[in-house]
Structure 1
Amino acid sequence: MKLSKTFLVAGTLATSAALVAACGSGQVGQSGSGDSGDTANSKKLVLVPGVQAEPFYISMQCGAQAEAKKLGYELTTQAPQKFDAAMQTTIVNAMGSNPPAALLVTPTDDQAMLAPIQQVKNRGSKIIEVDTTLKDTSVAESSISSDNTEGGKLAAQTLAKLVGSGKGSVLILDTIAGTSTTAARAKGFEDELKKHPNLKSVGIQFTQNEPDQAASKVTAALASTPDLVGIFATNLNTGEGAATGLRNGGKIGKVNLVGFDASPSEVDGLRKGEYQALIAQDPAQIGTKGVDQAVAALEGKPVQRQLGAELHAITKDDMDANSKYFYKQSC
């Protein structure tokens, strides 16, 4: 997940259409070859990630585009401006009159997105979930994501190594209630933290996926919890906000910050010492596997219902050796 910024119900169908464009920049919300009306729908795949212009989803799109081209399919990408179910619903609903052969989608809410995605499925599209999932497991042919629970556990293990024999409290910053990936990360982290008696959780706080809210939560925690030794931020926006809060409080490097994902800004923060560790996913692999499963479903080949992607704990000491896991800003 890992997700991006505020809510604004806007757009309508014109906004959705405007999000499809030629790929030159590789920005999410733009597509590889444009809208090709003469291409049969049987070869059309559509990717609807969580939000446009975010490095995680750009990297996912890059992997999906390359794999679709290799397999002889056309993939276009349409993304909401914000990680918001209402905006994503507008985009998915717009496919009703001309559904693609397969829809690769990152549900921005595990319940609210059920009806619009089900509607596309009812009109003949194969559904592939990438990154996040619906609670209803009957809709998708396949779901591809990192093992987010394990990612949370890896984050707790990494934080415990950073703290060593020290003692203190740990704050967990989640994004929006109902986001399957970050909820799993937070739970995995809390469960693993219980195995380290020198560390105690002060609970999970939601940031609405807003960096400024994450910063204010950290500011409040620094004031109320003098023994704060660690923060786990479940995605890039919470991480960026947490770093701001620590910077404002003069606690950079004094409170260990473990972030999820490896966006350019997070990697820069790791290099500067604002983060002590990052848990990197492999979004390009998620996109590649998503296309593979979509094509398999369309061609009547075996489909795997659940697929995972790799996770990697990266610190400043080993970041250069793990640079291949850093997220892209363009394809």
Structure 2
Amino acid sequence: MFRQRFTIGLALVLFIAAVYSIFYFKLFSVTNHHEKSITVVLKSLNVRSDFWQAVSAGSAAAAKENGLTLNVQGPLQEGDAEEQIHVLEEAISQKPQAIVVAPYADDRMPALFKQIREEGIKLVVIDTPLEMKSAPVVVSNNHVEAGRLAGETAINVTKRNPVIAIISDHADATISKERLEGLKHALERYKNSIVGVYYGEQSEDKAYDMAKKLLDEGRSFNTFITMNESATIGVAKLLKEQNKAGAIKLIGFDSSFYEIQLLEEGVLNAVIVQKPFNMGYLGVKRALSLIEGTNTAPVTYIESNVINRKNMYLPENQKLLFPFIENK
């Protein structure tokens, strides 16, 4: 009986040891196989954010294509700069070979970027370039050009009579400031075409209230240009409620599922669509180039496209509105 129990016990120990050995070998092999490790820190991991989900998908596609170990992090809610700082600090402590970050315009970011470099970690900034003495490699949409496209679209949909109320997020938001710069450039030859710039702080409700106040005051304008998705959705809700869709033009940015619906309904006249999948993909590719020591362009700009109800079903625009992994 003792010998039988001993045999069973020994077999069990050997089985556990074998499983552990296999697991350890696989873990060791994977770690060595994926020598290049990249952490991507986004502005949001919220599954409802089509934009950041597309950036994440692009990053994953580049990592898979090149056999990289990829870790995508970020705050749950967009606008949470404090949490992004915490996530970035944690990422630095993990010492990946490269960090790709879409930073908020926070005063603490330059110091963190300096720390990343001092740790010997390669750095790529996507989406929102920050002004620094020693600029990192940047992959970004050309926001000035996107703003110009919005202005030209407003000119076209109003038959060269644009009178525009602009609803943005924050006065100091880098992306919105660049879009506004391009927009003003497009409208230079149309005097008094901008009635004002108003701020909804990335809130649908605040954008709705601001637009309602403008209409209640009887302000004379024929177009809303909304600088981000939340402003677009808030203003669209108001136009639908007051049966002013079409009478007042609406031009927005980005391409969320709800914005696509608004295009189909004719509430939204056009959207300036970025290519977030491409941005995530190229961000990781540029990080890989830095790791490998190959020549890397200091700045890579990604173009935007104007999508409207007439051209939204073209194959090339469907790829922009519904970015799948194979679309690079």
Q: TM-score range by the shorter chain?
A: 0.7 to 0.9
1:97 match: secondary structure = helix
The 8 Å contact of residues 78 and 91 in structure 1, kept in 2 or not, is answered as yes
Q: Residue 65 and residue 42 in structure 1: after superposition, are their counterparts in 2 closer, same or farther (change >3 A)?
A: same
Residue 246 of structure 1 aligns with which residue? 239
Please identify which structure carries the higher helix content: 2
- Tell whether the 8 Å contact from 2:61 to 2:325 is kept in structure 1 after alignment: no
Deviation of the 1:117 alpha carbon: 3.1
Where 1:164 maps in the other structure, the secondary structure is: coil
Gaps of 5+ in 2: 1-26
2:127 aligned residue (124, 128, 131): 131
> Which stretch shows the higher mean deviation, 39-48 or 65-74?
39-48
User: What CA distance in whole angstroms lies between the structure 1 residues aligned with 2:283 and 2:133?
Assistant: 16
Deviation at 1:123, TM superposition (A): 1.5
| Aligned residue in 1 for 2:169 | 175
The one-letter amino acid paired with 2:142 is D
Distance between the aligned counterparts of 1:225 and 1:115, measured in 2?
Answer: 47
2:91 matched to 1:99? no
SS, match of residue 94 in structure 2:
coil
**1:111, distance to aligned residue in structure 2 (A):** 3.5
What SS is found at the alignment partner of 2:125?
strand
RMSD of aligned alpha carbons: 2.1
**Cα distance in 2 between the residues matched to 1:120 and 1:109:** 17
Q: Give distance in 1, aligned partners of 2:324 and 2:235.
A: 22
**Which of 31, 40, 46 pairs up with 1:39?**
31
Question: What SS does the corresponding residue of 2:43 show, helix, strand or coil?
Answer: coil
- Partner Cα separation in structure 1 for residue 179 and residue 161 of structure 2: 24
What is the CA deviation profile of residues 35-55 of structure 1, one whole-angstrom value per residue up to 9, with x for unaligned ones? x89636851111111112211
Tell me what 1:286 maps to. Answer: 279
AA paired with 1:323?
A: Q
Asked if the contact 2:58–2:325 (Cα under 8 Å) also holds between the matched residues in 1, the reply is: no
- SS of the residue 1:67 aligns to: helix
Summarize the Cα distance change of 1:125–1:42 in structure 2 as closer, same or farther, 3 Å threshold.
farther
CA distance in 1, matches of 2:219, 2:171: 27
CA distance in 2, matches of 1:137, 1:177: 23
Q: Please, which of 114, 118, 142 is the counterpart of residue 114 of structure 2? A: 118
Structure with bigger gyration radius: 2
Query: Identity across aligned pairs (percent)?
Result: 26
Equivalent residue, structure 2, for 1:236: 229
- Residue in 2 that maps onto 1:326: 321
C-alpha displacement of 1:305? 0.5
User: What secondary structure sits across from 2:93 in the alignment?
Assistant: coil
Report the CA distance shift for 1:242/1:39 in structure 2 as closer, same or farther (over 3 A).
farther
Distance in 1, Cα, partners of 2:73 & 2:123: 15
Shift of 1:65: 0.8
TM-score, normalised via structure 1 length: 0.83
Structure 1 residues 225 and 104, CA, compared in 2 at 3 Å: closer, same or farther? Answer: farther
TM-score, scaled to structure 2: 0.83
- Structure 2 SS opposite 1:293: helix
Deviates more, 1:105-114 or 1:276-285: 105-114
Q: Which moved more, 1:188-197 or 1:253-262?
A: 188-197
Q: How does 1:1-331 map to 2 (within 5 A)?
A: 39=31, 42-53=35-46, 54-82=49-77, 83-109=79-105, 111-136=107-132, 138-140=134-136, 142-166=137-161, 169-197=163-191, 200-321=193-314, 322-328=317-323
| CA offset digits 1:84-113 (Å, max 9, x no partner) | 221110101112322211111111115442
